[in-house]
Structure 1
Amino acid sequence: MSRLRRTPRQSRQPRRRSYDQYCASARALDIVGDRWTLLIVRELLAGPRRYTDLHADLPGVSTDMLAGRLKDMEGTELVTRRRLPPPVSAYVYELTPRGRELLPVLRALAEWGAPVLDEPRPTDAVRAHWFAIPLLRALEGVVTGVMQVTLDEGVFHVRVGGDGAVSYADGPAEAPDAHLRTDTATCRALSSGELTLAEAVAAGRAWLDETVRTG
């Protein structure tokens, strides 16, 4: 009986799935169409994050899935990984300029999805900074500068430049130009266009202080 000679087992990288269509939309989906990819972008648009922080703010993703997606995103040059200087000595992931260009995509998705964002389901996780992107719609043309937003679920801040540039980050701002306190239901109404910021303040559903600053 002849013996088959066994060759050393080599690890093979799975081929990324492709639509194999010569179409810009299809090519884009080849890169960002996988489950969790755009939600990872949503988190990293708020600034560099450690792996553990990403995992904490992406409820439902497995550690293997998150690690795989981040590796894919590094390969497509959406994300970079760098080490923070001592004494922190931890690695963080952050978006490349190419990755940050996805903000308008996420804004369009949030605007499209806002009308179907009803009351939270019992199984829904909620994070305050998830409201930052849809809230930008209500703030543009109304606010210029840094606004700190406080919800029952937490605090985030958004920056609206005079040139139309926008960004956001989790947590309080160092020196906000304004403070806004409201609730998730009002945030949802502002995001969908049901309410303007002025209407929310007049109705007592939002409280705006443009004089308080924190050091």
Structure 2
Amino acid sequence: MPRRRSYDQYCAAARALDAVGDRWTLLIVRELLAGPRRYTDLHADLPGVSTDMLAGRLKDMEGAELVTRRRLPPPGPAYVYELTARGRTLLPVLQALATWGATALEEPRPTDAVRAHWFAIPLLRALAGTAEGVVQVTLPEGEFHLRVGGDGAPEYGDGPAGTAEAHLRTDTATCRALASGELTLAQAVATGRAEFTGRTGGARDPELAPATAPSV
């Protein structure tokens, strides 16, 4: 049974925090928005969480119907965790949090872990209206891909895309500037801080023609 405590307040915000307000819960959602993950993969991409804490949070999230556990078929049977439809509706919540927190990101602290796909959520909003389709993003720390524009909901995944309409190569400092609104994609390309190739807004944009690749 879930070990969650309630605020016992008849308030929509309090009810939401009853479900996702515990430490690590929203960061687990962040990881699972990229697709189903095995427990070991979740633990690897949530540095700092103990195995007991992660197991407890996942159990609580299953009880709250945010997460389900599914067994993969042979030949390598294993369990994966994935978000329910209700869990996936937390993407706008994380986008709002990322927008609010972007201005607090300065240079990484010596103790900070960094994963490339952690920049996916803020970039979804930063690229909205600029790019369209699947965009593969390459950072020094790794690759991830986004789906923006069109009729479907925005989404992202860890690792390279099978096929992509556009490619963005840049660095974490530029991603941070894009996320906070300090820099637009066109400005990043024009100043050589990013290289972008592919479609923008459904067609190739001459303002975003490939520029000198940044040092990454």
Runs of 4+ in 1 over 2 A off after TM superposition: 13-16
Per the TM alignment, residue 161 of structure 1 is displaced from its structure 2 partner at its CA by: 3.2
Answer with 1 or 2: which has the greater Rg.
1
Task: Name which of 149, 153, 162 aligns with 1:165.
Answer: 153
> CA offsets per residue over residues 75-131 of structure 1, 9 Å max, x none?
000000001111121100000000000000000000000001111000000000000
| Number of residue pairs aligned between Structure 1 and Structure 2 | 199
1:140·1:164 contact (CA, 8 Å) conserved in 2?
A: no
Task: Name which of 74, 97, 101 aligns with 2:62.
Answer: 74
Q: Distance in 2 between matches of 1:148 and 1:155?
A: 7
Per the TM alignment, residue 144 of structure 1 is displaced from its structure 2 partner at its CA by: 0.9
Per the TM alignment, residue 210 of structure 1 is displaced from its structure 2 partner at its CA by: 1.3
* RMSD of equivalent CA atoms: 1.2
Residue of structure 1 in register with 2:176 after alignment: 188
Per the TM alignment, residue 176 of structure 1 is displaced from its structure 2 partner at its CA by: 0.7
For the residue of structure 1 that corresponds to 2:37, the secondary structure is: coil
Per the TM alignment, residue 15 of structure 1 is displaced from its structure 2 partner at its CA by: 4.7
2:67·2:82 contact (CA, 8 Å) conserved in 1?
A: yes
Range with greater deviation from structure 2 (156-165 or 143-152):
156-165
Residue of structure 1 in register with 2:31 after alignment: 43
Residue of structure 2 in register with 1:63 after alignment: 51
TM-score (norm 2): 0.90
Task: Name which of 7, 13, 31 aligns with 1:25.
Answer: 13
1:151·1:182 contact (CA, 8 Å) conserved in 2?
A: yes
Q: Distance in 1 between matches of 2:46 and 2:77?
A: 23
For the residue of structure 1 that corresponds to 2:5, the secondary structure is: coil
Matched, 1:178 2:163: no
Per the TM alignment, residue 149 of structure 1 is displaced from its structure 2 partner at its CA by: 0.2
2:37·2:82 contact (CA, 8 Å) conserved in 1?
A: yes
State, as a whole percentage, how many aligned pairs show the same letter: 82
Task: Name which of 207, 212, 215 aligns with 2:195.
Answer: 207
Q: Distance in 2 between matches of 1:164 and 1:72?
A: 30
